[in-house]
Amino acid sequence: MNDWATPKRGSGNYDLLIDLAGQRTRAGLEEALRAAVRDGRLAPGTRLPSSRVLSHDLGLARNTVADAYGQLVAEGWLTARQGSGTTVAARPAVPPRRPPAPPAPPAQVLPRTGTRDVVPHDIRLPYVLWPGSPDLSSFPRAAWLQAARRALTAAPNEAFGYTDPRGRPELRTALAGYLARVRGVRTDPDHLVVCSGYTQAVGLLARVLRGRGARAVAVESVGLPDIPTVLRSAGLDPVALPVDADGARVADLDAGVPAVLLTPAHQFPLGVRLSPERRTAVVAWARSTGGLVVEDDYDGEFRYDRQPVAALQALAPDHVVYAGTASKSLAPGLRLAWIAVPPQLLDAVVREKRLADHQSPALDQLTLAEFIRSGSYDRHVRRMRVRYRTRRDRVVEVLAARAPGARVSGIAAGLHAVVELPAGAPPLDTVIARAHRLGLAVPGLSDFGSTPGRPPALVVGYGTPPDHAFATALDLLCDALGTRA
């Protein structure tokens, strides 16, 4: 049944035909408005009724309408300006598929120097399939704001001063319970340290290891580009550990290397998991040598084909530093990560954190603590897990139909997939350059390290685009591979 919004006196008096399909909820209103924009019934620039008028016309609570408008503004479907009301946002134009002029060399579009320094904030293209970032338009602004208000109201006065470098006790307590429940981590609030991102966490650990006489640290031969740089800046040599279909080849660990950095649940970016045999082997190595394993569990909540395996840290809490982050589950802009530190390293890590920046922002910590405690974090993760699984399935489906021979590898997890180029495809550099000319940013596997013997591949970050841009981004990906929709 259609609901007809009739004009009222005052500002925002606009007719609006809305099909709520019986879903008289905020979610129903959001979907109805998305559908109206998507199919062109609401053209760009169309002014919508005020939340007061629309709530009256539809018989919904005004907060319901206001929250729906706010969410659609965050997703890019609508725009809102003080004094100008709410209007339908302009849709991004699809870039020309065949530019009239010869393209600039790829290096002028997105430098690919072979030094693994290509990072997403350098990209200024309209469509992005970059790994390592969630859909920022899906950040739960309304729920986060509510948590922030509750947290600020309840915050003790001392929270606004210099506090424990480990982080606010409210967040460390909430995290300890959450990590035990969801990832099987064995720790307590006293042994958790809140950091300003995973990169800072690695820097803290690197300086502690260097201070204890370490000269080198093993890292996966393909991974986050910044990590070897962070290690070198602390005076440590990164030693490459080969990665194959069973994860890092931990049997190759040198007895003289005191620590290894791993992504065991979902190797970045190859997407494989560390096999049970190798999990057991690396724990045995740590116990026999006194070595340290740093477990980067960057997207452990997002496993789609089965229940996720518990964190490696649960097997040896005294030898494994567990690292988690809100950058994938919520947004990297929060700059909130955490490490569970073995007792023998805690004082040294806390000292390095104090010297680095004394503490991470207290109000954001209090908000995240309330977000977890209230159940909002779990609800958001569950919702995004469904969305990202749908997107991954769509990538597989579209490539199978339009790019036969392109193979999606890695387990069904996380926010990215490795797409091996089909036989007969142009060279990888040509595919990436073609994508750039079409307006699409997507990196090659070689941007993340050495992968000898592996076929050329792209690392497709399907979590990055907002909903309204996802289908077009996939179309451009297929075009870059030499196929058409």
Which pLDDT does position 475 carry in this prediction?
A: 95
In total, the chain counts a number of residues equal to 485
Give me the amino acid identity at 36: A
376-411 burial: b if 16+ Cβ within 10 Å, else e: bbeebeeebbeebbebbeebbebbeebbeebebebb
Joined tokens for residue 84: 């100008």
Out of 3.40.630.10, 3.40.920.10, 3.10.20.30, 1.10.10.10, the CATH code matching 2-88 is: 1.10.10.10
Taking domain 106-138+379-480, whether its CATH number is 3.40.640.10 is answered by yes
pLDDT at residue 14 in the model? 60
pLDDT tens per residue across all 485 residues of the chain:
445 444 443 445 566 777 787 778 888 888 888 888 887 778 888 888 888 888 888 888 988 888 888 888 878 888 888 777 898 888 654 444 444 433 333 322 223 333 334 445 445 789 999 998 999 999 999 999 999 999 999 999 999 999 999 999 999 999 999 999 999 999 999 999 999 999 999 999 999 999 999 999 999 999 999 999 999 999 999 999 999 999 999 999 987 899 999 999 999 999 999 999 999 999 999 999 999 999 999 999 999 988 888 999 999 999 999 999 999 999 999 999 999 999 999 999 999 999 999 999 999 999 999 999 999 999 999 999 999 999 999 999 999 999 888 999 999 999 999 999 988 888 999 999 999 999 999 999 999 997 788 899 999 999 999 999 999 999 999 999 985 44
CB 132 within 8 A of CB 461: yes
* Nearest alpha carbon to residue 42 among 89, 10, 76: 89
Q: CA 17, 20, 25, 30 torsion: positive or negative?
A: negative
Beta strands in 39-134 (DSSP E): 78-81, 85-88, 127-128
Element (DSSP H or E) covering residue 69:
helix 62-75
CB-based burial label for 244 (10 Å; 0-12, 13-18, 19+): middle
C-alpha to C-alpha distance for 281 and 267, rounded to whole angstroms: 17
- In the DSSP assignment, the letter for residue 422 is P
CA–CA gap between residue 1 and residue 35 (Å, rounded): 15
- CATH number among 3.40.50.300, 3.40.640.10, 3.40.50.450, 3.40.930.10, domain 157-374: 3.40.640.10
Read off the amino acid at residue 187.
T
Q: Cα(371)–Cα(382) distance, rounded to whole angstroms?
A: 14
Residue ranges of the chain that CATH labels 3.40.640.10: 106-138+379-480, 157-374
Q: Which residues pair with 87 in a beta bridge?
A: 47, 79
The CA distance from 343 to 18, in Å, is: 59
Residue limits of CATH 1.10.10.10 in the chain: 2-88
3-state secondary structure (DSSP) of residue 29: helix
Beta carbons within 8 Å of 188's beta carbon, 6+ residues apart: 176
